[in-house]
Structure 1
Amino acid sequence: MRMAKIVALAVAMTMFVASAAFAGPVYDKIMQTKKVRVGIMTDSIPGAFYNEKGEWVGFDYDIATEVAKRMGVEIDRVAVNNQTRISFLQQGRIDISVANMTHTRERDKSIDFSITYFFDGQKVLAKKGQFTSLNDMVGKKIATMQGTTSELNLKAALKAAGDPDYDKNVISYQKESQCFQALQSGRVAGWSTDATILLGYASKTPGAYELVGDFLSDEPYGMGLPQDDSALRDAVNMAIQDMWRDGTYMEIYNKWYGPGTPFEMPMSDQIELWP
């Protein structure tokens, strides 16, 4: 028993020393190691996904790369999804989350956010010609992602539209690709999330799907950051603003959402700029 306690104490001391080595602001650690770990999605078209060649690409991918460049450090990209993009930050497995994440007051209780770096809104995608509004979809099953603002917004919208079974008719999946597969196979009549994501998946089969009805919500995207690290938050915010000022932001935006792209969506707002 005595030996077991000694071993347990040694393990605890080792863990304490290891954690102490990385204690302090995350920004200081990034500057010391010259590397920033950024959480990025892998199946969020066109935010961040694998293309036909197996290359990791997308708007968030390019924006994250540029932020790291302007911070003067290398980027270490870490795959995240809707379930891990916040928890990885809290666990210290990533330093920044650039993962099409809406900045909400509820999320702000557990992590910090950058200024808004992308402007989107939630809609519903359905097979072309079947529905004209969400009211037409009352009683139908609609897919969304589990644990997202889209899930909450969709339930509220269906309830407001008079669907008595709104809770049961919202079918939640772990991944966006699973939502699209459910729509393709007919297991659901629609899929609701941010419009840019829906446009990205709809582009796989041009003309087969369309966005239905009005926006269900505004979705201001922020980069997720560790709590209470103002130096890191300032560095990220300055990088975003500088990208806007010198035109780099719009170059990246137009690459993915500009005229002639499969995901065309006019810029609807502008980045917050500080004097």
Structure 2
Amino acid sequence: MNVKTFSYLALALPLLTTVSTAKADLLASIKSSGVLRCAVYSDVPPFAAPDTKTRQLVGMDIDLCQALSKQMGVKAQLVPTSVEARVPVIATGRADVLIANLAYTKTRSQQIQFSDPYYVAKEMLVVKAANADKPLSFFKGKRISANKGTTSEQSIVLKGGKPVTFQDAASAFLALEQNKVMGFVTNTMTATKMISQAKSSGINLAMVKEPMALEPIGVGMKQGEPALLTAVNSGLKAMDEQGTIDKIWNQWLGPNTDYKMTREEHVQPLSSLTFQPLD
């Protein structure tokens, strides 16, 4: 090898190293650093919110993040985020995974990739108790309230109702109490709490049994990271089989909490679910 050729190779080595590093997959980087950067809500109880005494983030999603990190053999690093920023924080690479009660939608699936869901949330129709035994078809063409710009609003359109939207859930719920609408759509958790609150005020409400829409909840990740997706799915499946997810669920959402919810679905491929994705 002559001196000139050696010089060219020497100059090329840093470039080759840079290219190689750039192509390294995210899972390898996580394993190398020993840290899983996990985006969670900054203040959305019971998923993630500051403890009133310690000010440390606690909640269902915090415990899920810690358990998933342990399953993957690394430590968790929490990245607090807002509802509005939870998808961008993954798309821009500021966090490795997103565990923030993230529902699968068509739009989000184009921005990030989803793990196998670990539970299926439901958009439920809350009505006056006398109408609770009616089928959803009864409410077609009827005025139904929801938060503006939410999947709850989308589900009303999906089922043929007339959406009446508000900026917050309390106002949308009040419209039902004041008979300005025939129903109010929200997730099961919110519906359960609001029905209980209304009862204490002498107003009898109930949920229609059939869901307005199904929303698979999973872990969000950057697109184009198949190794990480496989690792997260494997970790969730193991946590499910070990009873870890059920234990976390029961602590934060279960029958002995204010939400009184039972986890009915287990970790399974998204393709195995029968549902109509919302936009």
Same fold by TM-score greater than 0.5: yes
- 1:251 & 1:35 partners in 2: Cα distance? 24
Does the Cα contact within 8 Å between 2:91 and 2:222 map onto a contact in 1?
yes
Task: Please list, as runs of the form range in 1=range in 2, the aligned pairs for 1:49-64 lying within 5 A after superposition.
Answer: 49-53=49-53, 54-64=55-65
Q: What is the percentage of aligned positions where both structures have the same residue?
A: 24
Deviation at 1:114, TM superposition (A): 0.6
Deviation at 1:244, TM superposition (A): 1.3
- 1:49 & 1:211 partners in 2: Cα distance? 28
Partner amino acid for 2:169?
C
Partner amino acid for 1:151?
E
Is 1:31 the equivalent of 2:31?
yes
Task: Please list, as runs of the form range in 1=range in 2, the aligned pairs for 1:237-248 lying within 5 A after superposition.
Answer: 237-248=233-244
TM-score by length of 2: 0.71
Any gaps of 5 or more consecutive residues in structure 2? 1-16, 270-279
Deviation at 1:109, TM superposition (A): 2.2
SS state of the match for residue 231, structure 1? helix
Count of matched residue pairs: 242
Deviation at 1:149, TM superposition (A): 2.8
Deviation at 1:39, TM superposition (A): 1.6
2:277 is matched with none
Which deviates further from its counterpart, 129-138 or 114-123? 129-138
Over residues 162-187 of structure 1, what are the superposed CA-to-partner deviations in whole Å (9 max), with x where a residue is unaligned? x3xx3xx223x4xxxx4347646989
Does the Cα contact within 8 Å between 2:126 and 2:191 map onto a contact in 1?
yes
Over residues 134-177 of structure 1, what are the superposed CA-to-partner deviations in whole Å (9 max), with x where a residue is unaligned? 7399346x23263x4333213333xx13x3xx3xx223x4xxxx
Deviation at 1:248, TM superposition (A): 1.4
Deviation at 1:26, TM superposition (A): 1.7
1:151 is matched with 153
Deviation at 1:98, TM superposition (A): 1.0
SS state of the match for residue 153, structure 2? helix
- 2:109 & 2:222 partners in 1: Cα distance? 10
SS state of the match for residue 36, structure 2? strand
1:92 is matched with 93
Does the Cα contact within 8 Å between 2:129 and 2:206 map onto a contact in 1?
no
Does the Cα contact within 8 Å between 2:119 and 2:263 map onto a contact in 1?
no
Does the Cα contact within 8 Å between 1:154 and 1:170 map onto a contact in 2?
no
TM-score by length of 1: 0.72
Any gaps of 5 or more consecutive residues in structure 1? 1-16
Partner amino acid for 1:179?
A
1:81 is matched with 82
Q: Please point out which of 203, 214, 219 is paired with 2:215.
A: 219
SS state of the match for residue 98, structure 1? strand
Deviation at 1:84, TM superposition (A): 1.6
Q: Please point out which of 191, 194, 207 is paired with 2:187.
A: 194
Does the Cα contact within 8 Å between 2:48 and 2:58 map onto a contact in 1?
yes
For residues 180 and 75 of structure 1, do their structure 2 counterparts lie closer, same or farther at Cα, with a shift above 3 Å needed? farther
Does the Cα contact within 8 Å between 1:46 and 1:200 map onto a contact in 2?
no
- 2:219 & 2:59 partners in 1: Cα distance? 15
Deviation at 1:204, TM superposition (A): 7.4
Does the Cα contact within 8 Å between 1:38 and 1:96 map onto a contact in 2?
yes
Deviation at 1:254, TM superposition (A): 1.6
Partner amino acid for 1:170?
T
Q: Please point out which of 125, 138, 141 is paired with 2:142.
A: 138
1:10 is matched with none
Which deviates further from its counterpart, 103-112 or 196-205? 196-205
Deviation at 1:256, TM superposition (A): 2.0
User: Cα RMSD between the aligned structures?
Assistant: 3.6
Is 1:232 the equivalent of 2:233?
no
Which deviates further from its counterpart, 70-79 or 42-51? 42-51
Does the Cα contact within 8 Å between 2:148 and 2:165 map onto a contact in 1?
no
- 1:182 & 1:197 partners in 2: Cα distance? 12
Larger Rg: 2
